[in-house]
Amino acid sequence: MAELRSPLQAQVVQWLVAPGDSVRAGDVVVILEAMKMEHEVRSPGHGKVRELLFRAGETVAEREVLLVVDEAAGAVSAASAPTPALSQAHREEEREDLRRVVERHALTLDAARPDAVAKRHALGLRTARENIADLCDPGSFDEYGALAVAAQSSRRSADDLQRNTPADGMVTGIGTVGGRRVAVLAYDATVLAGTQGFRNHQKTDRLLGVALKNRLPVVLFAEGGGGRPGDTDMPIVAGLHVPTFASFARLNGQVPVVGIAAGRCFAGNAALLGCCDVIIATAGSNIGMGGPAMVEGGGLGVFRPEAIGPAPVQHGNGVIDVLVADEAEAVAAARQYLAFFTDAATGFEAPDPLALRNVVPENRLRVYDSRAALAGLVDVGSLLELRTGFGVGIHTALGRIAGRPIGLLASNPLHLGGAIDADAADKAARFMQLCNAHGLPLVSLVDTPGFMVGPAIEEQAQVRHVSRMFIAAAHLRVPFFAVVLRKGYGLGAMAMAAGGFHEPAAMVAWPSGEFGGMGLEGAVRLGYRKELEALPEGPQREALFEQLVAKQYAAGAAMNMAATLEIDAVIDPARTRDWLVRGLEAARTAPAAGPLAIDPW
């Protein structure tokens, strides 16, 4: 005899057997209900049902006996009875509820909208989902909010919205990029021109919250036309209370944020793009805080979209950090950028160190391209220059040295002889903030006669702009190393050395280094004016001038600076990389004392 006891306090809903029925261990014999949920209770063994102790509708207590089974010889208990295996056909059978979900998700995919995809491809552009598939490691993207549609049910049918406004024009989710989880948001330009709808704002806010909480890098594909006035389902007048922009800005300095623009990116989409640490844009993109309709509505004229914020303009003025040919290159650049914020690479190829010996010409008046020094220091293929069209007096780049990611600054003697103007100072100061926020050590290659001076430059607020370099450097928590390639003069050289020559963890010079409180020629003309003016103009005065300059040059030579301990060492250019490798191993990054903001400019 075997007793079947109730597993919980419940109500008897239905008996599936009667007295005298034969049962097998594991057969469902009664349905119980508790808290609006039904429970199947199974037979405790093989045999015949002797007695049912409760009727349908009655309540039973936990462990109370429900029925008694007279067990047959050799019977087994339900606990030990094998569970019948599901057939292959049953396992592959698609339930109705699952079928509906699969069909509904299929409407969100590119394959469901071949005409829209064809139009996109005809423009030489990719879909949002194609870009995400290229960015994320295969099979790693988990989408959030795929079933959302535009909030326009009062104007359009459910079928229309599902077929033509998939994901409400914003694909959001989390994928893996180079092995690291990354939050991805992509406006879909094939859906209502990639505009910002009520629900895609909600999706954006949801994912941004997840990203901030879990410290996930964020990639934004920003193409689109800004706010959408056609969403009518919600009683909203202006929609200026949405938290999206504040939520996106809150990521600043907390996690790496990459923006990608292709096609047209206007208004609200551009505002989010402008909050990104780095903006990667295609040569055919247009970026502006207002599109043609907004410009015309403001009485400012009628313009084609291509006339507003074209890529060459936005690259030259500093909006675009990395200019690329197409979306494939943009995604590749984004993957490269994000890789700098992961652990050190295990495999790398070192450049030929001897090439650095010939970067600086022996003729001290001859200009050269300091990007050769950048390439000669970092691992082969690792250099990523940022903001190349703007502030060209200072190069800024990310790279790796022996696998370790770093930030690099380099004076550009090809522009103003390396003098630092307002744009270059802005560029350098923001780059220091970027590296500081995300924990990248900095290496500065110095060759500058100082800050640019003169009436024209002062009209550009030079005093305020160049001082940004001192402020940014004063708040660095990351190791800073400086190498003087040639000229290290005045306040400009100090700014390139984190505020002073003893601020870096190591301050070294190449043999070509020369130093002074200001440019040597200017120092002679100012300091020896009386002596020079005492001689008549001509060869005699010029000879004295050259003699005094040579004396100043000898006094400010690199070895003399090292002898007076104003710099730490003079090194063979071919040993610069080794010097930095050891310095990086010894230096440490201090913990952040508080929020670390990165200036959008």
pLDDT in tens, 82-115: 555 556 655 667 788 889 899 889 888 999 999 9
pLDDT band, very low/low/confident/very high, at 80 (cuts 50, 70, 90) = very low
Around Cβ 6, how many Cβ atoms within 10 Å?
Answer: 22
E-only strand ranges, 367-427: 384-386, 394-401, 404-411
Tokens 């922009």 sit on residue: 245
The continuous run of DSSP H or E covering 48 comes out as strand 47-52
The predicted-structure confidence for 233-251, as pLDDT tens digits, reads as follows 677 767 778 889 899 999 9
**Band (397; pLDDT cuts 50, 70, 90):** very high
pLDDT beyond 70 at 528: yes
Contact 380, 446 (CB under 8 A): no
CA distance 91 to 112: 28
Full-model pTM = 0.86
CA-derived radius of gyration, the chain:
35
Q: Of 111-120, 134-143, 490-499, 532-541, which gets the smallest average pLDDT? A: 532-541
Residue 486 phi, psi (nearest 5) = -150, -85
Section 111-128 average pLDDT: 95
Mean pLDDT of the chain: 91
> Domain 2-71: which topology?
OB fold (Dihydrolipoamide Acetyltransferase, E2P) (2.40.50)
Nearest alpha carbon to residue 417 among 499, 317, 489, 509: 489
Contact 289, 270 (CB under 8 A): yes
Q: What CATH number has the domain spanning 353-513+557-586? A: 3.90.226.10
**Number of continuous H segments (helices) and E segments (strands) in the chain:** 21, 25
Distances (CA, A) of 574 to 350, 356, 579: 12, 6, 10
Domain made up of 102-339: CATH architecture: Alpha-Beta Complex (3.90)
Q: What is the dihedral of CA 554, 560, 566, 568, to 10 degrees?
A: 130
| The two three-digit tokens of residue 114, written as one number | 């071949």
Which residues, other chains included, contact 365 with Cβ-Cβ below 8 Å and sequence gap of 6+?
A: none
Are 330 and 273 a contacting pair, CB within 8 Å? no
Q: Please name which of 13, 17, 12 lies closest in space to residue 27, comparing C-alpha atoms.
A: 17
State residue 347 phi and psi, 5-degree precision: -115, 140
Task: Put residue 498 in one of left, alpha, beta given phi > 0 → left and psi -120 to 50 → alpha.
Answer: left
Residue with tokens 């879990």: 214
User: CB of 314 within 8 A of CB of 261?
Assistant: no
Report the pLDDT value the prediction gives residue 233, as an integer from 0 to 100. Answer: 67
Nearest of 268, 287, 272 to residue 229 by alpha carbon: 268
Here the tokens at position 527 are 């300091």
Give the phi and the psi of residue 397 in degrees, each rounded to 5. -155, 160
Alpha-helix residue ranges (DSSP H) falling in 56-185: 88-92, 96-106, 114-122, 128-135, 158-164
Percent of residues, the chain, with pLDDT higher than 70: 96
Cα separation, 26 vs 17, in Å, equals: 13
Instruction: List C-alpha distances in Å: 42 to 10, 29, 55, 81.
Output: 15, 6, 17, 11
Length of the chain: 601
What separation in angstroms does the CA of 477 have from each of 433, 438, 503? 10, 10, 12
Q: Which residue has the higher pLDDT, 304 or 279?
A: 279
Strand 180-187 relative to strand 442-448, pairing: unpaired
Q: Which pLDDT value is given to residue 296?
A: 77
Lowest mean pLDDT among 106-110, 204-208, 459-463: 106-110
Q: 420 forms bridges with which residues in the sheet?
A: 451
Mean pLDDT throughout 589-599? 86
Helices (DSSP H) in 317-420: which residue ranges? 327-339, 371-377
Q: What is the Cα–Cα distance from 229 to 553, expressed in whole angstroms? A: 67
